[in-house]
Each structure stands twice: as structure tokens, then as C-alpha cells.
Amino acid sequence: MKKIWNNKKIVLPLLAGVILLITALWYVNDYYHTDENVQEYLQKKDSVSVTEMSDGLYLDGPGDNAAMIFYPGAKVEYTAYLPLLSDLAEQGIDCFLIKMPCNLAFFGQNKAKKIMDSYEYDYWYLSGHSLGGAMAASYASGHLESLNGLVLLAAYPTKSLKSDSFSVLSLYGSEDGVLNMEKMEEGKAYMPVDYAEVCIEGGNHAQFGNYGEQKGDHAADISREEQQAQTVEAILKMMEAHKDQKQVEAMKTYEQISPQEAKKRMDNEDDVIILDVRTQEEYDSGHIKNAVCLPNEDILSEPDILPDKGQQILVYCRSGNRSKQAAQKLADMGYENVLEFGGILDWPYPELVE
């Protein structure tokens, strides 16, 4: 009996391991295959060339300053997204379509780094479908400083994407039967201020790619071509808006600082003017000690209050809106050292208010 039991102690774990291996092999080989008509997209077109890389495909279009790295959905052959990305590349956004190990982006969520280290673009965007989108969001959350934005196709984040210079676009179909809408709603808590959500009426989960129907999905009310066309249009709109915002920020000639940094300057530097740009009535109801009142509306007509254009000027208002306007006016007038620190509503030092 003892010998039989010892044999069982060897055989049973081996059997369990074999079963687990067979199950794993079956799982990773049971995936959605690309439609046959997608093969034509592998051929070079007049406006888009497709080059094979070690990590997937590079779609080089007529653009040269913006690129998107794309993570495929789980258990979907990566070439299924060629039509969508080819259309995007034709519109000037070069695309990198990543081939994931075992068709699971979970095993390759850091592949974006290799691409970004190997190519030079002014604007980098990351995107993905379903699990690929979730893994793209996970990577983006730790690399917000090197990315300009994220496009989620039927996906949601589980980590923070909050950054003043980061954009997120979320797209999904109204007939999606796979996307967990409850998790999608929870994911909004991680989104930055520059966040947009687009529901494609009549679209479903699978039609972002070309791999046929997906288990659990609902039938779409629009064609695959229409869903992908709307997707490309929304992505281009998001990227254009982001570039416009970047250009506006580049035009700013004043600096934004935190209330904490403002207080530090007030405490340690003598040659500082604290400028309250609210109305006189608001100023009289309570203001930061030693602040000078110069309403935003009067800045252009009363420049003599600030004779030295090299003076360090700390600007605030009630909530941070008028202070930005005033700071820009001062910068446009030639003041060289303007610092805006928001509104008195967010001022964390009540002992300095009188």
C-alpha cells in the first residue's frame, strides 16, 4: 500500500500538470482569425506602406509627426485590425500594430516602450481593443509623461490616467454585448480632465476589427465599415483637439505654480507683488495678506500700478479662471515674471487671509 501511495504522489501531480498544459495550449490556440479579405491590406498602397517588424506591423502613411501604437483584443489575430489602422494611417497617423504573445496583450503590455525608443514622433498615442485597451491603459498610467493620449475601444482603465497634458478618448458600440458597462462606469474615476466618450450607435464589440462575430456579442445595426469609419473620425478629432490645446499652451508666456510654491515665494523673496484680480468688493470681503487689488477687467487700462516689467508678480483670483486671463494679459503687455497660482477658494493658508 505504501508503494502504491508513493506512486500516486508522483503520478497525480504529473497528470494534473499534463491536463493544465493541454488546457493552456487549447486556450491560446482557440482564437478569432482574421477575415480572408484583410490580406489585401498587407500589400503596399500608394499612401500607406506596411512593414513587418519583430513585434508586429508598421503602417507608414503620409504623416510624419504623430503615431499610434495599437494593442489587439484578447484571443484575436492581430492582423484583424489592419483595415481600421490602415484608414487611420491614410489620414496621417502612422500606426504600429503589435503582435502579442499567445494573442493576449496581458503578456506584452510593455511593448510600447520598445517602439517609442526606436522611432521619433512629436506626438505618441496608445490604443487598444477590449483586453488590449485595458493593458494599454495600464501601461499609459505609468508613462503619462511620454504619451500624449490614449484611445480605448470597448475598454476601460483600472489605474489613474489623470494628467493635465494627457487626453483619453473612449469609444464603444451601443450594441456591445461583451463590454462590462458597470466596470466602464467605474473606470471614469481614473480619467483626466481631457476625456471624451463616444457611443457609436448601432456598433458592437467585434466590428472594431475584422475577425467575424464574437461570442456573447450582440448583432450590429451598422456595417463594419461604417463603425470603423466613425472610429477613425472620432480619433482624428480627438488628436486635432489635443494638438490645438498644446499649441495654446505653448503660446502661454506665464508660469503656473501651486499655492504651496506661491507661499514659499511670499515667505522667502522680498521683491514680490501679490496681485488679486477679483473685483474691489470681492477683495474687501477677504484677501491674501499684502495683496494688491487690480481687477482683471482693469489691467489693460491701468498699467501704471505695475511699473517694473521685470517684477515677480503672483496672480490669483476666486477660482483660477480670471487669474489665468489676467496673467496672459500681463505677459502680452511685456511683463516677464508672471506666476499664476489659482484661486483663493483653493488657498490652504487661512491664517494669511485678512
Comparing C-alpha atoms, which of 96, 95, 75, 77 is closest to residue 38?
Answer: 77
User: Higher pLDDT residue, 247 or 143?
Assistant: 143
Residue 276 lies in a domain: yes
Residue 324 lies in a domain: yes
Which whole number is the average pLDDT over 180-209?
Answer: 96
> How many angstroms separate the CA atoms of 255 and 311, rounded?
14
User: Higher pLDDT residue, 63 or 10?
Assistant: 63
> How many angstroms separate the CA atoms of 100 and 77, rounded?
9
> How many angstroms separate the CA atoms of 26 and 91, rounded?
39
| Residue at which a domain ends, from 184, 217, 251 | 251
pLDDT by residue (tens digit) across 310-335? Answer: 889 999 999 998 999 999 899 888 88
pLDDT by residue (tens digit) across 108-150? Answer: 999 999 999 999 999 999 999 999 999 999 999 999 999 999 9
| Residue at which a domain ends, from 203, 225, 251 | 251
Give the chain's domain count. Answer: 2
Q: Do residues 74 and 132 make contact, with C-beta atoms less than 8 angstroms apart?
A: yes
Same domain, 97 and 185: yes
User: Higher pLDDT residue, 15 or 85?
Assistant: 85
pLDDT band of residue 10 (cuts 50, 70, 90) is low
CATH of residue 278's domain is 3.40.250.10
Same domain, 157 and 231: yes
Same domain, 225 and 327: no
Q: Which residues, listed in sequence order, are joined to residue 71 by a DSSP beta bridge?
A: 128
DSSP 225-287: HHHHHHHHHHHHHHHHHHHHHHHHHHH--SEE--HHHHHHHHHH-SSEEEEE-S-HHHHHT--
Catalytic machinery residues: 317
Q: Which runs of E-coded beta strand occur in the chain?
A: 49-53, 56-60, 66-71, 94-98, 123-129, 149-153, 167-173, 195-200, 255-256, 272-276, 291-293, 312-317, 338-343
Comparing C-alpha atoms, which of 217, 120, 107 is closest to residue 173?
Answer: 217
- What percent of the residues of the chain are helix, what percent strand, and what percent coil, each to the nearest 5? 45, 20, 35
Question: Which residues are CB-neighbours of 33 under 8 A, at least 6 positions away?
Answer: 77, 80, 211, 212
Q: Which residues, listed in sequence order, are joined to residue 125 by a DSSP beta bridge?
A: 68, 149
Which whole number is the average pLDDT over 213-232?
Answer: 97
For 264, the grid coordinates are 514659499
pLDDT band of residue 8 (cuts 50, 70, 90) is low
pLDDT of residue 211 exceeding 80, the answer is: yes
Give the domain extent around 332: 255-352
pTM assigned to the model: 0.67
Q: Which residues, listed in sequence order, are joined to residue 198 by a DSSP beta bridge?
A: 171
| Residue at which a domain ends, from 251, 272, 299 | 251
Same domain, 235 and 268: no
How many of the other CB atoms lie within 10 Å of CB of 85?
27
Comparing C-alpha atoms, which of 188, 194, 191, 138 is closest to residue 164?
Answer: 194
Task: Mark residue 240 as left, alpha or beta (left: phi above 0; alpha: psi -120 to 50; beta: remaining).
Answer: alpha
Comparing C-alpha atoms, which of 208, 91, 107, 218 is closest to residue 153?
Answer: 208
pLDDT band of residue 246 (cuts 50, 70, 90) is low
Residue 4 lies in a domain: no
* Average model confidence (pLDDT) across the chain: 90
CATH of residue 178's domain is 3.40.50.1820
Same domain, 180 and 78: yes
- Sign of the dihedral through C-alpha 293, 297, 299, 304: negative
Comparing C-alpha atoms, which of 197, 195, 201 is closest to residue 230?
Answer: 201
For 16, the grid coordinates are 494534473
Q: Do residues 185 and 275 make contact, with C-beta atoms less than 8 angstroms apart?
A: no
Same domain, 93 and 240: yes
For 4, the grid coordinates are 502504491
Same domain, 189 and 210: yes
Which whole number is the average pLDDT over 182-210?
Answer: 96
